[in-house]
Structures are given as structure tokens and as C-alpha cells.
Amino acid sequence: MSNLSFVAPTRNSPWGTYLSQIDAVEPYLGHLARWVETLRRPKRALIVDVPIELDNGTIAHYEGYRVQHSLTRGPGKGGVRYHPDVTLEEVMALSAWMTIKNAAVNLPYGGAKGGIRLDPKQLSQKELEKVTRRYTSEIGIIIGPQQDIPAPDVNTNGQIMAWMMDTYSMNVGATATGVVTGKPIALGGSLGRVQATGRGVFVIGREAMRRLGIEMEGARIAVQGFGNVGSIAAKLFAASGARIVCVQDHTGTILNERGFDMQNLLDHVAKTGGVGGFSGGDKIANEDFWKVKSDVLIPAALEGQISKERAEGLQTRLVLEGANGPTTPDGDAVLADRGIVVVPDVIANSGGVTVSYFEWVQDFSSFFWTEDEINVRLDKIITGAFKHIWDVSEQHRISLRTAAFVVACTRVLEAREERGLYP
């Protein structure tokens, strides 16, 4: 599968999924195919030990990672996640998808990703700060405003970015606001950044629905994952006349055929931490989520959710990937056979990194835009990128995923060829 000695991917594991996507795109790369092997090997992978003193006086050690998949088109860009299941292979795949995403949207970045193997719910705020600061110091040798710019991801947020920025700034002896994005506004964060990924999912979904002839008014939407991405996308769809009929998160799955009252649901989640126990819908078995009839299905949780078995039972017309890598290669093949259109993660959830780019640009120029300006620019960039990918898909009669990879890999490998090999 891969001749890298440090991972052992399977067909449907994260790195295996990414490699199969590169295999699918290779026939469309023409003379650039001679460079394709560079996409199958991350440029740099750093594994660090993150020791901290816990509140009870004992010493705990956590595994941390930062992978830079490609720096050919610019500095690395990608989030940091805190999750007990984080592995080197997962972070490698996520960094590679960032390379593809940044190139698909034509942002001047390469792909990177980071993570710490821990459950943040088990740590106090003080312990979380210690872990973040120690991790930042350990990876400080490869990050920086011109080298690699982290951002929030699963279980990380603006506060964690603030600690990362402060730690890096202390180590270099100057305030470096551009070292991370997704920061609080007071520290050079951008308006619209928190909502950007969910907004991007909505904007791309709206474009895809228009092209497929799916009416927004009354459309049935099912959402898996109701965090930052899923909840904001759901809110925007509902505000445009669609019905959110089924929602699943780590606390359970709820169904309401008429569509949820979004404000009540959002209030419930803010109060209780999840959709479970919401009185405005019926509780159903988690596995039944994948059988609910919908016009649009938005997987916005973790990777590897739509397996072959689940894909066979899906009753939807459009899958809009809010999460990174939520569909396995086997699941993808089933959806293609069944004629269910999949808008891939690398374009569907590109709103977050696009506004991260705006934040980085604003930090460098010390000149900040209004939220309206941000949203207009976001809409323009991602709808233009989506149109280009849709056209390539029709031209070659390939899936939107393969088309996105054709666009992105061509850009990365053209840059690689122009730069040549040093020394």
C-alpha cells in the first residue's frame, strides 16, 4: 500500500484513503505524473513528547505530532486537534488533505496538521494551558508565520490558539500574531472566522443544490456532528428555508420530520453540551441516522463515517462533507454506483482555511476588514473554486472528488516542477 516504514495503512484507514485518492487522480496528470510520488510522502513529520505536571502533582506525558505534508506552494497551514484517538497516520492524512484543500481553493499554502493524543475533557483549564504551551514549544522549531501556521480543529479553539501565539511569541522575543489563525479578535483574530467553515459548507451546498435542481425551500437536511461546523451550517440552511430533520452528535441522535426549531435546539446544545435529551424531536438509534430520508446529508464529525455498509443504506441525493475524510474509499464507490453526488471535504469545508488566510493577511498588514467584507470575499473565492471543480468533473466525466484532486494536484505538481529539486 505504502512503502513508508513508519505507517501501516489499510485501504479504508486515513492514509490509505488518501493514497487511493492520489491513485485515482494519477491518470489525469499528464506529464506531471512523474512528480506524483512527492504527494505520497509527507515532507516532514515531527513526533514530540509533551510532559506536564498535573494539578495533583504527578507528571503526565502525552504524544504530540506536527506533520508538514507539502510546503511547495507556501507555508504549511492546518489545524491542531486534541483527541484520544489521534495517531501519526491520521495527522499525516489530514495534512495531505490540507495540501489538496489549499491548492483546490488556490490559497498560497502547503498542507500541515497537528495533534495531541489526549482527552481534553479529562484536564482542567490550567492543565490544558500547560499542555498547549509545552506542545507549542516542542513544535516551535518548525512553525512560524512564514513556515507553518496552525489553527483550531477538533477540541481546540480560540483560547488554545491564544496560548499557542503567546508561547511562540515569548520564545522568539516578539509578538507574532501571524503564527496561528482562529485567534480571539483582541489578538488579531478575524471577524467571521468562527463561523467560516460552517458558512462555507452552506455556500457550497447551496451551489451544488442549484446545479442538481434540489429546491432549498423545504429541503430535508440531516447533519452528523453538531459542533462548530455542523451547527452553523444547519442554522444557515434552516434560515434559507430548508428543514433540519435529523441531527446526531456524541450524545445521541434525534429526528423531527417537520424540521427542528433551530433556536430551541441551539439553546439546548449550549446549555447541555449536546443534542441528546432535546424535547423537540424523537430519539432514534445512532445507526438509524444513516437510513433517514434526506435531500442533503452533512457528515460534519470525524473521518471514516460513511462505510460501504452505511453507503448502501443512505437515502439522500447529496452528501456534503463538512468533516475531513468522512467517506471511506469503499463507501465512495457505493455512492458513485448509486448516483449519489458527493461534494468532497477539500472544497465543502474550505471556508475555514479561506478565512484563516484572510486573518493571516490582515495580521501581516495590520489592517482589518469588516465581517461583511470577509463573507463577500469568502463567497467569491469558494464559489469560483467550486465552479472550476464542477467543470473539470463534467469535462472528464469523473466524480467531484477526483476533479478536486485533479485541480489541486496539478497546481501542486506544477509548482514542484517549476521549483525543481534542491540541491
Active-site annotation, residues = 113
Within 8 A by CB and 6+ apart from 397, the residues are: none
Residue 61 Cα distances to 51, 53, 84, 418, angstroms: 4, 9, 13, 43
CA 315 to chain centre: 24
> How long, in residues, is the chain?
423
Q: Which helix (H) or strand (E) holds 120?
A: none
Q: How far apart are CA 402 and CA 394, in angstroms?
A: 11
d(CA 296, CA 316): 6
Measure CA of the first residue to CA of the last residue in the chain; give whole Å.
29
Helices then strands, counting H and E runs in the chain, come out as 13, 12
Pick from 81, 89, 58, 67: which is nearest to 161 by CA?
A: 81
Q: How far apart are CA 38 and CA 30, in angstroms?
A: 15
Distance CA 65, CA 114 (A): 5
